[in-house]
């Protein structure tokens, strides 16, 4: 049984709840255990996963968050840098599923977050587990 850490940037509570529901269901359906921690924002997700990885307590990670475009360039920085940080960690061998929604508006985020629609939280958890299986195959 794998130990999966879900790291969430909790900003849009109602959207995060849906992403978490999907992620937790996918992990449990696959027969694994999970724990959840919260960080201030999407930019902190890679750092928290890096710190957790140093503990050796987890086998895979799911990053959950929502970034909705606003009126400033901040959206591009947060979306790009959080994804870059997660990619760098995955290149170091961590099994990570990226469940950070980057959308133009809340309606798009809601469609992607709902487990009954696009279920991006569940997809991120499944991606993390698939990468874990791949890492174990090549070990």
Q: pLDDT digit string (tens) for 45-72?
A: 999 999 999 999 999 999 999 999 988 8
57 is in an annotated binding site: no
Taking the alpha carbons at both ends of the chain, their separation in whole angstroms is 17
Does 137 reside within a domain?
A: no
Does 101 reside within a domain?
A: yes
Catalytic residue among 14, 32, 34, 74: 74
Does 15 reside within a domain?
A: yes
Assign residue 20 the CATH number of its domain. Answer: 3.40.50.960
Is the per-residue pLDDT at 73 higher than 90? Answer: no
CA distance 17 to 59: 23
How many of the other CB atoms lie within 10 Å of CB of 36?
Answer: 15
71 is in an annotated binding site: yes
- Check residue 71 and give its pLDDT: 86
pTM: 0.97
- Residue 55 is part of which domain span? 1-71+95-105
74 a catalytic residue: yes
**What's the whole-number mean pLDDT along residues 10-14?**
93
- Check residue 72 and give its pLDDT: 86
User: How many domains is the chain partitioned into structurally?
Assistant: 1
Is the per-residue pLDDT at 136 higher than 90? Answer: yes
């Amino acid at each position: 049984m794998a130990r999966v850490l879900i790291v969430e940037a909790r900003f849009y509570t109602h959207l995060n709840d849906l992403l978490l529901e999907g992620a937790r269901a996918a992990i449990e359906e696959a027969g694994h255990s999970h724990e959840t921690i919260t960080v201030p924002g999407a930019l902190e997700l890679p750092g928290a996963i890096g710190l957790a990885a140093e503990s050796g307590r987890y086998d895979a990670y799911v990053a959950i968050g929502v970034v909705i475009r606003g009126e400033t360039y901040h959206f591009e920085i947060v979306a790009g840098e959080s994804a870059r940080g997660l990619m760098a960690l995955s290149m170091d061998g961590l099994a990570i599923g990226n469940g950070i929604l980057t959308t133009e508006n809340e309606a798009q985020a809601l469609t992607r977050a709902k487990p009954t629609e696009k279920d991006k939280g569940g997809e991120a958890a499944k991606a993390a587990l698939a990468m874990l299986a791949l890492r174990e195959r090549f070990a």
